[in-house]
Amino acid sequence: MDKVSICHECGRTIESEFLFCPWCGASMENGESLSAQFDAVFTEVEAISLAMTGSRIDKIESRLGELENDLSLFLSRPAP
């Protein structure tokens, strides 16, 4: 089984050259290869991961700015 597909009806893995799923009999003409399905999923996961990382960096930068302001205020006070 060099190239495999997933049956769009029953979800089982089958060889790409099959015209019909041996498990449920569904036509495989419109079947998408397993690697194409994985590529789509991995692309979506990567986009979500990048968005989350950007959001975290923005929050950290905001908090760092707040801490810098607090430190500046603390250091600008006269010593008792």
Instruction: Tell me the pairing of strands 4-6 and 13-15.
Output: antiparallel
pLDDT above 70 as % of the chain: 91
Banded pLDDT at 79 (limits 50, 70, 90): confident
Q: Which helix (H) or strand (E) holds 6?
A: strand 4-6
Per-residue pLDDT tens digits for 4-43: 888 888 989 989 888 888 998 888 876 566 667 778 889 9
27 backbone dihedrals φ, ψ, rounded to 5°: -70, 140
What's the DSSP call for residue 21?
-
Measure the CA–CA gap between 16 and 32, rounded to whole angstroms. 9
| pTM recorded for the entire structure | 0.42
